[in-house]
Amino acid sequence: MSVKQDSRRDWSDHYWWSGDGVRLHARIYAAPPGRENAPPVLCLPGLARNARDFEAVAPHVAQERRVIVVEFRGRGESAYAKDPMTYVPLTYVQDVVALLDELAIDRFATIGTSLGGLVSMLMAASLPGRLAGAVLNDVGPELETAGLERIRDYIGVGGSQPTWMHAARAVAELNGAVYPGYEIHDWLRLTKRTHRLTPEGRIVTDYDKQIAAPLRVPNSDGGVDLWPAYQALGDVPVLILRGEHSDILARPAAEKMAAKLPRARVVEVPGVGHAPTMDEPEARAAIDAWVAELPGA
């Protein structure tokens, strides 16, 4: 275990070890005075994302309670796995549970984007009674095949760019349909969240390209029914964010999710696809309302 604080930032770096010896990283935002005993919020990024995805929403939620932003193995400051076939949701669950055990956290809530939402549902099923609430950002137990194929096509491919502006234009070309209203400054912000500068001065995606390996396995979806995992959330507050143009979470699937749980509701984020960044005003207002429903201690 290792913790490092930088006085210029509002989080601490925390490092821990997985069961198979991978050094993992999280950002921890301290609880405000008087809220130290409230269940913390774990932020769980999407497939190719890292802690910077939550650089705006995490400090905002941290005004109300402790926030822990996890970087899954192979992303950001978390080490790359020796075995690429460990880049699967069940391993991510085990890694997060190791963090919870180390920090002695019993109850917690989650904000999970895409893959992070799948991990949230699996944790609800494997850790009964411990989730105090969940935000599922553009993900659920039913996912659209077309969107999954789009993701498979670009994950793990691509080279490097000479400047941040070149990289931003490449990201814009790939994701123009996802964020149709973005200007170049928006693309630069997104690119700096998802890419890093190498020692050689090139801009590359900030993840191990081997995270795509399990996705290349035939029938890697396995036909697993995720509805029981989703329903394991029970009667806790559940916010389902859906991008208006999402090709991953269809509107009927989101509505079905809301109907299945007593405290689940859908908020559609206008003008974006998969997935909302949660910087959008509609998403931020919905998250504020969800946080207000979480148990205080």
Q: Residue 296 — very low, low, confident or very high, per pLDDT cuts 50/70/90?
A: confident
Radius of gyration of the chain (CA): 18
Please say whether the beta carbons of 123 and 110 come within 8 A: yes
Residue 3 has pLDDT above 50, yes or no: no
Q: What is the pLDDT of residues 120-154, one digit of tens each?
A: 999 999 999 999 999 999 999 999 999 999 998 88
Q: What is the pLDDT of residues 270-292, one digit of tens each?
A: 999 999 999 999 999 999 999 99
Q: Residue 9 — very low, low, confident or very high, per pLDDT cuts 50/70/90?
A: confident
The token pair that represents 43 in the structure block: 């932020």
The token pair that represents 60 in the structure block: 């905002």
Residues 6 or more apart in contact with residue 38 via CB below 8 angstroms: 31, 64, 65, 66, 294, 295, 296, 297
Give mean pLDDT, residues 227-244.
98
In 10 A of CB 232, how many CB atoms? 18
pLDDT of residue 130: 98
pTM: 0.95
pLDDT of residue 154: 86
pLDDT of residue 115: 97
Give mean pLDDT, residues 186-206.
97
> Look-up: residue for tokens 């590359």?
204
Please say whether the beta carbons of 10 and 60 come within 8 A: no
Q: Residue 246 — very low, low, confident or very high, per pLDDT cuts 50/70/90?
A: very high
pLDDT of residue 122: 98
The token pair that represents 132 in the structure block: 């105090």
Please say whether the beta carbons of 274 and 147 come within 8 A: yes
Residue 7 has pLDDT above 50, yes or no: no
pLDDT of residue 127: 98
Cα–Cα distance between 18 and 92 in angstroms, integer? 9
> Could you give the percent of the chain with pLDDT greater than 90?
90
Phi-psi region of 173 (alpha: psi -120 to 50; beta: other; left: phi over 0): alpha
Give mean pLDDT, residues 76-98.
98
- Closest listed residue to residue 68, CA positions, set 137, 3, 141: 3
Domains of the chain: 2-153+223-293 (3.40.50.1820), 157-206 (no CATH)
